[in-house]
Structure 1
Amino acid sequence: MSRLLLTNIDPGTSDEEIQAFLEKYGFPPFDNLEHEDGDGTHPAVLLTYGNLDPAVLGKLQQRIDHMYWKKRQLSASILHDRFA
């Protein structure tokens, strides 16, 4: 299982827009998308890929990290399981 945290997305962005954006840059469909709570200044989503190798996700993550989308600079981080 691989997880990607995508932060600073535009607050009005739909799940479908996120999927289309990621597909444009070569990401496979995600298995799960969770909106992360926060103070609202940097909305985030946690994407889960059940069958995607973390090394592959790392290559894909580099394509979108610090990219501007919808007038916001995105931050894409891979979350690692500490006790896996």
Structure 2
Amino acid sequence: MAELWIGNVADDVTDEEIKEFLIRYGFPAFDEIQRVPGAGSRPAVLLTFNNVEPHSLRSLEGRVHNLFWKNRTINVNVVPPREEE
């Protein structure tokens, strides 16, 4: 499992638009999406890919990090694996 954080995504961008955008840049389809409200100006999304390893996403991350999309510059980072308790 891998997670991808995309910061500075406008609230009015749909889940489907996010999916289409990432697929256009070579990413697999995500399995889950969580909206993370920002402090008014920089909301984000956290995407979960159930059958993808973090290193696979890291190889794609640079394709979209700091890209200007939907009138905003997005920040994209692979979330480090979380330790299970």
- Per the TM superposition, whether the score is higher than 0.5 is yes
Map of 1:44 onto structure 2: 44
Q: CA deviation at 1:81?
A: 2.4
Matched, 1:72 2:72: yes
Equivalent residue pairs, number: 84
Map of 1:54 onto structure 2: 54
Q: CA deviation at 1:82?
A: 4.3
Q: CA deviation at 1:83?
A: 2.1
Maintained 8 Å contact 2:54/2:81: no
State the TM-score, normalized to the length of structure 2. Answer: 0.91
For residues 3-29 of structure 1, give each alpha carbon's deviation from its aligned partner in whole angstroms, at most 9, with x where no partner exists: 000010122101110011011001111
State the TM-score, normalized to the length of structure 1. Answer: 0.92
For residues 27-73 of structure 1, give each alpha carbon's deviation from its aligned partner in whole angstroms, at most 9, with x where no partner exists: 11101000012322101000000111211100111110000001110
- CA distance in 2 between partners of 1:3 and 1:62 (Å): 15
- CA distance in 1 between partners of 2:37 and 2:71 (Å): 21
Equivalent AA in structure 2 for residue 83 of structure 1: E
User: Could you say what the CA RMSD is over the residues aligned between the two structures, in angstroms?
Assistant: 1.2
Among all aligned residue pairs of Structure 1 and Structure 2, give the percentage whose two residues are the same amino acid: 38
- CA distance in 2 between partners of 1:10 and 1:74 (Å): 10
Task: List gaps (5 residues or longer) in structure 2.
Answer: none
Equivalent AA in structure 1 for residue 19 of structure 2: Q
Task: List gaps (5 residues or longer) in structure 1.
Answer: none
Map of 1:63 onto structure 2: 63
Maintained 8 Å contact 2:9/2:44: yes
Counterpart secondary structure, 1:63: coil
